[in-house]
């Protein structure tokens, strides 16, 4: 992220100045995608690169080389990508002329990740007599099963394509989630990667960090004095973070049986959102300053002992129900799922942050599949007024003030407060002040992968997860899993598809007089 000095006078100049300041200068480079024939490449990576090209944000010289085992030629791969782009592009129709210009830089290298000669073939393709920078600056995107990350790094190193540390030019590894399945496996993976690359060359993806609204959490907090002053235990009663999904596991039952909601969502997306919401102001916008603060925050989360897991964590699993008018089978009836599976499709956690700012403030996190609405939201609920002046008119309990950051969909920010109902009587009711991204900025919202690929090419690691972040997050998740060991799901932990999770989840908040505030559809 780049800080801007502004000398602009008018509001329009100011906006233009900010846009220019935020634009990345990216030098010529090659992007090698391992896993070129896979789902992620077709659905996310190529559409993101195409859009960066269309928006003139790609380097003046670049090339994309796809690496996978399936037999393809440059032309047949381009044709497949074009079909996928027609389906997955965020702008339609695809611009033919732009695509043709982009596709001229796209090539395919057939090979097996474990096969050393395949890397020699890759090296020949990378050698470009016309533009040496394309051979020196290389982004290796690992869109393969994580068990192959170490192998790719090692093979690249032995082929002379990946040097540890940057000499002339740069080489970077972008690695996908899941990054390990517990602390031990994540540490092994980190050791494997950092044998062949410096930590600064490893860019671990959490695509949530590429979302505009997630990045806006820091902008919102640290560029508005009115909110920052309220952002502490004095004013905040509690915080709710919800990441809900409408879909079931579909065809990904085998993956989900290994992962579950805790590993799939809490370890990465929810803890990352929590860190951004609760961290201290960084000393600068440098990647390391921001990541230092996130790590400090993760370290301040009170460790969960196994007996605390029973009272502070609720898991759940969906049974058959109706979501959006459609019948949804239960998790245990999904393909590639064990009929007696105990894997959680829902998890809710109550966490405390033991530091000066947040002492005593509970943070409630929840995520689940087959919930009534797919939405991600952070709700900051403020303390009640010290005394209810309008008790005679509206009872002893006023609706609490709340600030809701809607991360997706219908991205925006709402403030809830109480207002007088017009009329001669004294009646109070909650009203809402709302900022919507769409109405303010138009419909242009780049996909998370566009931003992430651009940042990785420009070498800015702010939106990627550092080694100690990933390991601290696993420590929190491992403690929860330990508390679940040997304990099958109980009746209270099942929920019907299409509802907001198991009844047990309400018990997390009820003792303190709170309740979940479910995200609402916004028109």
CB atoms within 10 A of CB 30: 27
Tokens of residue 357, six digits: 């700012």
> Phi first, then psi: what are they for 12, rounded to 5°?
-65, -45
**Considering only CA atoms, which of 240, 491, 188 is closest in space to residue 380?**
240
| Residues classed as catalytic | 269
**Considering only CA atoms, which of 231, 234, 226 is closest in space to residue 383?**
234
Tokens of residue 53, six digits: 């090209």
For residue 164, the surrounding DSSP H or E stretch is none
Task: Report d(CA 24, CA 57) in Å as an integer.
Answer: 8
For residue 244, the surrounding DSSP H or E stretch is strand 236-244
CA 205 to the chain's CA centroid: 8
Which CB, 27 or 154, lies closer to ligand NAP?
154
Task: Report d(CA 158, CA 151) in Å as an integer.
Answer: 11
Task: Report d(CA 522, CA 520) in Å as an integer.
Answer: 6
> Phi first, then psi: what are they for 52, rounded to 5°?
-60, -40
Q: Where on the chain is the footprint of ligand NAP (CB under 6 A)? A: 35-40, 43, 68-70, 112-114, 143-146, 176-178
Which CB, 88 or 352, lies closer to ligand NAP?
88
Task: Report d(CA 96, CA 118) in Å as an integer.
Answer: 32
Task: Report d(CA 190, CA 186) in Å as an integer.
Answer: 6
Residue 35 to residues 49, 70, 74, 144, 396, Cα–Cα distance (Å): 15, 10, 15, 5, 60
Residue of minimal CB distance from ligand NAP?
38
To the nearest whole angstrom, how small is the minimum distance from the Cβ of residue 316 to ligand NAP?
Answer: 23
Task: Report d(CA 343, CA 331) in Å as an integer.
Answer: 9
Only one residue has tokens 């393909």, namely 335
Task: Report d(CA 179, CA 267) in Å as an integer.
Answer: 10
Note whether 264 and 390 are within 8 A (CB).
no
Task: Report d(CA 302, CA 291) in Å as an integer.
Answer: 19
To the nearest whole angstrom, how small is the minimum distance from the Cβ of residue 227 to ligand NAP?
Answer: 32
Phi-psi region of 216 (alpha: psi -120 to 50; beta: other; left: phi over 0): alpha
């Amino acid at each position: 992220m780049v800080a801007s000095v502004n000398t602009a006078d008018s509001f329009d100049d100011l906006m233009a100045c900010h846009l220019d300041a935020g634009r990345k200068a990216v030098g010529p480079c090659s992007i090698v995608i391992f896993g070129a024939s896979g789902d992620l490449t077709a659905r996310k990576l190529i559409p993101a690169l195409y859009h960066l090209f269309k928006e003139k944000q790609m380097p003046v010289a670049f090339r994309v080389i796809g690496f996978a085992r399936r037999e393809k030629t440059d032309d047949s791969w381009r044709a497949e990508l074009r079909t996928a782009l027609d389906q997955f592009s965020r702008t339609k129709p695809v611009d033919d002329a732009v695509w043709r210009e982009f596709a001229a830089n796209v090539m395919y290298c057939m090979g097996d990740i474990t096969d050393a000669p395949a890397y020699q073939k890759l090296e020949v393709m990378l050698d470009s007599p016309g533009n040496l920078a394309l051979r020196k600056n290389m982004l290796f995107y690992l869109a393969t099963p994580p068990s192959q990350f170490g192998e790719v790094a090692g093979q690249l190193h032995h082929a002379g394509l990946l040097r540890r540390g940057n000499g002339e030019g740069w080489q970077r590894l972008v690695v996908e989630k899941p990054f390990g399945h517990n602390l031990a496996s994540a540490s092994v993976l980190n050791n494997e990667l950092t044998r062949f690359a410096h930590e600064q060359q490893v860019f671990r993806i959490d695509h949530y960090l590429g979302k505009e609204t997630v990045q806006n959490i820091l902008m919102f907090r640290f560029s508005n004095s009115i909110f920052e002053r309220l952002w502490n235990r004095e004013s905040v009663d509690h915080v709710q973070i919800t990441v809900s999904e409408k879909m079931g596991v579909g065809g990904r039952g085998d993956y989900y049986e290994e992962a579950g909601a805790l590993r799939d969502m809490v370890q990465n997306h929810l803890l990352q959102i929590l860190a951004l919401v609760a961290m201290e102001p960084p000393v600068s916008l440098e990647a390391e300053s921001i990541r230092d603060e996130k790590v400090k925050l993760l370290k301040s989360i009170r460790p969960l002992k196994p007996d605390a897991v029973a009272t502070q964590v609720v898991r759940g699993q969906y049974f058959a129900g109706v979501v959006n008018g459609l019948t949804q089978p239960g998790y245990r009836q999904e393909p590639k799922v064990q009929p007696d599976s105990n894997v959680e499709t829902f998890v809710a956690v109550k966490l405390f942050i033991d530091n000066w700012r947040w002492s005593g403030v509970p943070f409630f996190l929840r995520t689940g599949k087959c919930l009534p609405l797919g939405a991600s939201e952070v709700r900051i609920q403020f303390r009640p007024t010290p005394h209810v002046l309008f008790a005679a008119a509206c009872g002893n309990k006023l609706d609490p003030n709340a600030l809701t950051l809607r991360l997706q969909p219908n991205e925006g920010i709402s403030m809830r407060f109480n207002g007088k109902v017009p009329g001669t009587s004294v009646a109070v009711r909650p009203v809402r002040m709302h900022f919507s991204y769409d109405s303010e900025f138009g419909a242009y919202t780049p996909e998370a992968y566009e931003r992430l690929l651009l940042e990785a090419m420009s070498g800015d690691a702010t939106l990627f997860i550092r080694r100690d972040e990933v390991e601290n997050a696993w420590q929190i998740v491992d403690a929860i899993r330990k508390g679940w060991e040997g304990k099958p799901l109980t009746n209270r932990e099942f929920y019907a598809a299409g509802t907001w999770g198991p009844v047990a989840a309400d018990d997390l908040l009820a003792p303190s007089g709170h309740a979940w505030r479910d995200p609402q559809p916004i028109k």
